[in-house]
Amino acid sequence: MTGETSSAASVLPSGEQFEISTGGQRATIVEVGGGLTAYEVDGRPVLESYAADRMRDGAHGAPLVPWPNRLEDGQYSFDGTTYQVPLTEPEKRNAIHGFLLWQPWEATERDADRVVMTTHLYPREGYPFTDPDLLRARAQRPHGRHDCREPR
């Protein structure tokens, strides 16, 4: 079909981009993983960013949920029960940074200097828990805060 543009071609690997700014601070938060692709203060980068047309190559300011860092052999114990999650670094025998790095987040509130990103974590292999509205991440003035907390 000539002359038509595919909507798939316009979808970025990190999903929708949400830019916020206040004073000398500027941040770009992304739909996929709910992380930061850029954060600057007075034009100086504070973290290593990645381009919107690239797939992330690390956590880049994303909430690491339900665990940060690595689970050796993909195992953890909770309330007397040991659970096994899939290994995401099989060559190192680890599961790394939780489940949300590649999950879509939704911008549920948005202003020029603030965005609230929300996602849901549903049961999966090795994680039999239901946590609807598990997390809301808020980037807001005055200090470019990226708060992650359970909703009330």
Give the pLDDT confidence of 11-53 residue by residue, as tens digits.
899 999 999 998 899 999 999 999 888 999 999 999 888 888 8
The pTM of the full predicted model, rounded to 2 decimals, is 0.78
Q: Has residue 145 been placed in a domain?
A: yes
Q: What is the pLDDT of residues 70-111, one digit of tens each?
A: 999 999 999 999 999 999 999 999 999 999 989 999 999 999
Distance CA 115, CA 110 (A): 4
- Is 95 within the bounds of a domain? no
Peptide bond into 66 cis (omega under 30): yes
- The answer to the question of residue 33 being in a domain is yes
Domain encompassing residue 48: 14-62+101-149
Structurally, the chain folds into a number of domains equal to: 1
Whether 113 is covered by a domain: the verdict is yes
Examine residue 51 and state whether it is found in any structural domain, yes or no.
yes
Q: Is 120 domain-assigned?
A: yes
Q: How far apart are CA 123 and CA 26, in angstroms?
A: 35
Token pair in block for residue 12: 């970025």
Does residue 94 belong to any structural domain of this protein? no
Spatial separation of the C-alpha atoms in residues 77 and 86, rounded to whole Å: 15
Helix (H) or strand (E) holding 145: strand 145-149
- Residue corresponding to tokens 């980068």: 45
